[in-house]
C-alpha cells in the first residue's frame, strides 16, 4: 500500500521522471554542441578555484556580461540553473496554483512538467498546419501564461513574428518565448522583451554555446518582470563553475560559437537535402537539428542506436500537419554535428529503413 507520504502532492501524480539516456557513441539526440566546449569556457572550468565560497546570490557579474552581450540593462536580465531553471522560476513567478498556461504544441516537454510541478493547468494548443501559432486558440482559455518556443523544439520551425506580437498584445498575462535555438535562426524576439511589459525571452548556454553540463540559462524582460522571476528563482542558482564558464564564453568565445553555429547551419541544409534524396520529408529548420516525420520512427531509432547512432524519436505527436498525420505522429529529430557523424547517422538510417522494409 502506498503511504500518504510516498504518494506525494496531487499535482505530481501525472509527472514522470525525465527519461534516463543511454546514448550511443555518436549522440545526435539532444541538440547539444557536437563540436565541443568553446576554448575560453573550457579553461575557466579547469580554473574554477573559488568553489569553497558561495557564488553571487543572483549571479550579478554574469548578468552584467549577458547585458553587455545583448545590449540591455543588467536589471533586465535573470539567470538560472539552465534555461530549465529559468522556465520553472518564471512559471512560478507569474501564476498561482490552479492558473492556466497555454502551451503551443508539439514543443519542448519540460514546460508542461514545470507547469504541473507548480500546480498550473497546462492547456495544449496545437500549432496550425503550417506550424504557426493559433493565436485565438492560445488566448481562448484566458491563460495567465503562454509559452512559445521559437525556433521550436522538436519541429525546428518558426512561428511568424506578427502572431507572436498579437499573442503578447492579447494576453492578460506573461508570454514566455523560449529562444534556446536563436543562435541558429535569423530572427529573435529580444526586441519585444525590451519593448513589451509582458514578454520574457529565455536563452541558454546549453546549445550553441556548448555548455549543457555547466547548467546556465538566462532571460531578458523589463526590469519589473525580471524582478519577479528573481524572487521566485531564489539565490545561488548558478554555480561558481557555471558562472565562470558562461562568463568566459560570452567574453572570449563568441567568434568560436558563431563559427560553429554557421557550421551547424551548413550541415543542417545538407542533411535536409540528403533526407529528401531518400524520399523523406524533413521540415525546414531554423535550429541545429532536423525534424523528419516518418512512420515507424521509434523502431528506426532503435535500430540506428544498435548501429552506434542515437537520434531522438517521437510518437504520439499532435498530427498538426499532413506530414505528421501521415506518419501517425511519429518523427525523428537529428542533431547537426560534424559531417562525418552525419554520414554515420545516414548510413544507420539507411540500414534501419532497409531492415524495416524487410519485416
Ligand atoms: C534544450 C532546451 C532547453 C533546456 O536547456 P537548459 O538550458 O539546458 O536547461 C530549453 N528549451 C528548449 C526548447 C530546449 O530545447
pLDDT tens for the chain, 359 residues long, are: 556 667 788 888 888 888 777 789 999 999 999 999 999 999 999 987 788 899 999 999 999 999 999 999 999 999 999 999 999 999 999 999 999 999 999 999 999 999 999 999 999 999 999 999 999 999 999 999 999 999 999 999 999 999 999 999 999 999 999 999 999 999 999 999 999 999 999 999 999 999 999 999 999 999 999 999 999 999 999 999 999 999 999 999 999 999 999 999 999 999 999 999 999 999 999 999 999 999 999 999 999 999 999 999 999 998 888 999 999 999 999 999 999 999 999 999 999 999 988 87
pLDDT of residue 318: 87
Cα angle: 152, vertex 125, 88; to 5 degrees: 65
Instruction: Please give the full DSSP string across 263-319, using - where no structure is assigned.
Output: HHHHHHHHHHHHHHHTT--PPP-SSSEEEEE-TTHHHHHHHHHHTTEEEEEE-S---
Query: pLDDT at position 8, please?
Result: 82
The ligand 1 atom at the shortest distance from the C-alpha of residue 205 is: 7
Q: Would you state the pLDDT for residue 6?
A: 75
Set of cell numbers at residue 335: 542533431
pLDDT of residue 47: 83
Cα dihedral 221, 224, 226, 228, rounded to 10, equals -140
User: What spacing in Å lies between the alpha carbon of 150 and ligand 1's midpoint?
Assistant: 12
Question: Which 3-state string (H, E, C) describes 195-256?
Answer: HCCCEEEEEECCCCCCCHHHCEEEEECCHHHHHHHHHHHCCCCCCHHHHHHHHHHHHHCHHH
The single-letter DSSP state of residue 99 is -
Q: What's this model's pTM, rounded to 2 decimal places?
A: 0.96
Quote the ligand 1 centre to 298 CA distance (angstroms): 22
Residue with cell 516537454: 109
Question: What is the per-residue pLDDT for 7?
Answer: 77
* Confidence at residue 5, expressed as pLDDT on a 0 to 100 scale: 67
Bond preceding residue 230 cis, omega within 30 of 0: no
What radius of gyration do the chain's Cα atoms show? 20
Q: Which residue's CA lies nearest to atom 14 of ligand 1?
A: 180
316: alpha, beta or left, given left = phi > 0 and alpha = psi -120 to 50? Answer: left
Count CA atoms closer than 13 A to 347's CA, side-chain side: 11
Residue in the structure block whose three cell numbers are 536563436: 182
Contact 211, 255 (CB under 8 A): no
The region that residue 65 occupies, defined by phi over 0 for left and psi between -120 and 50 for alpha, beta otherwise, is alpha
For the beta carbon of residue 341, count every other beta carbon within 10 angstroms.
Answer: 19
- Report residue 78 as a C-alpha cell: 535573470
Q: 3-class DSSP state for residue 113? A: helix
Element (H, E) at 194: helix 190-195
Q: Given ligand 1 and candidates 83, 216, 237, which is best to mutate, with the most ligand atoms within 8 Å of its CB?
A: 83
Give residue 216 CA to ligand 1 midpoint distance, Å: 10
The strand pairing partners of 126, in sequence order, are 105
Question: Which residues surround ligand 1 with Cβ inside 6 Å?
Answer: 31, 82-84, 108, 149, 153, 178, 180, 204, 206, 212, 217
Amino acid at each position: 500500500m502506498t503511504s500518504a507520504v510516498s504518494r506525494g502532492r496531487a499535482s505530481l501524480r501525472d509527472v514522470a521522471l525525465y527519461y534516463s539516456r543511454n546514448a550511443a557513441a555518436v549522440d545526435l539526440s539532444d541538440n547539444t554542441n557536437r563540436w565541443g566546449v568553446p576554448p575560453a569556457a573550457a579553461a575557466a572550468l579547469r580554473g574554477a578555484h573559488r568553489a569553497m565560497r558561495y557564488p553571487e546570490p543572483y549571479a550579478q557579474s554574469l548578468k552584467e556580461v549577458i547585458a553587455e552581450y545583448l545590449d540591455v540593462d543588467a536589471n533586465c536580465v535573470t539567470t538560472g540553473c539552465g534555461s530549465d531553471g529559468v522556465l520553472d522560476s518564471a512559471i512560478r513567478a507569474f501564476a498561482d496554483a490552479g492558473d492556466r498556461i497555454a502551451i503551443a504544441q508539439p514543443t519542448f516537454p519540460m514546460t508542461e512538467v514545470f507547469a504541473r510541478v507548480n500546480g498550473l493547468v497546462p492547456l495544449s494548443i496545437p500549432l496550425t498546419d503550417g506550424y504557426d501559432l493559433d493565436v485565438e486558440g492560445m488566448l481562448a482559455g484566458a491563460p495567465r501564461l503562454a509559452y512559445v518556443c521559437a525556433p521550436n523544439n522538436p519541429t525546428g520551425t518558426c512561428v511568424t513574428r506578427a502572431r507572436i506580437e498579437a499573442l503578447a498584445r492579447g494576453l492578460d498575462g506573461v508570454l514566455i518565448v523560449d529562444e534556446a535555438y536563436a543562435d541558429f535562426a535569423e530572427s529573435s524576439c529580444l526586441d519585444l522583451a525590451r519593448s513589451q511589459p509582458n514578454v520574457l525571452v529565455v536563452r541558454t548556454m546549453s546549445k550553441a554555446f556548448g555548455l549543457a553540463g555547466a547548467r546556465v540559462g538566462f532571460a531578458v524582460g523589463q526590469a519589473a518582470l525580471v524582478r519577479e522571476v528573481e524572487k521566485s528563482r531564489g539565490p545561488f542558482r548558478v554555480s561558481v563553475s557555471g558562472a565562470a564558464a558562461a562568463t568566459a564564453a560570452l567574453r572570449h568565445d563568441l567568434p568560436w560559437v558563431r563559427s560553429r553555429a554557421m557550421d551547424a547551419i551548413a550541415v543542417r541544409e545538407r542533411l535536409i537535402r540528403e533526407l529528401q534524396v531518400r524520399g523523406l520529408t524533413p521540415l525546414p529548420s531554423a535550429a541545429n537539428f532536423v525534424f523528419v516525420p516518418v512512420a515507424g520512427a521509434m523502431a528506426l531509432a532503435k535500430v540506428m542506436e544498435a548501429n552506434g547512432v542515437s537520434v531522438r524519436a517521437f510518437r504520439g505527436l499532435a498530427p498538426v500537419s499532413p506530414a505528421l498525420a501521415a506518419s501517425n505522429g511519429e518523427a525523428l529529430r537529428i542533431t547537426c554535428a560534424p559531417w562525418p557523424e552525419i554520414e554515420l547517422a545516414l548510413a544507420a538510417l539507411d540500414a534501419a529503413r532497409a531492415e524495416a522494409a524487410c519485416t
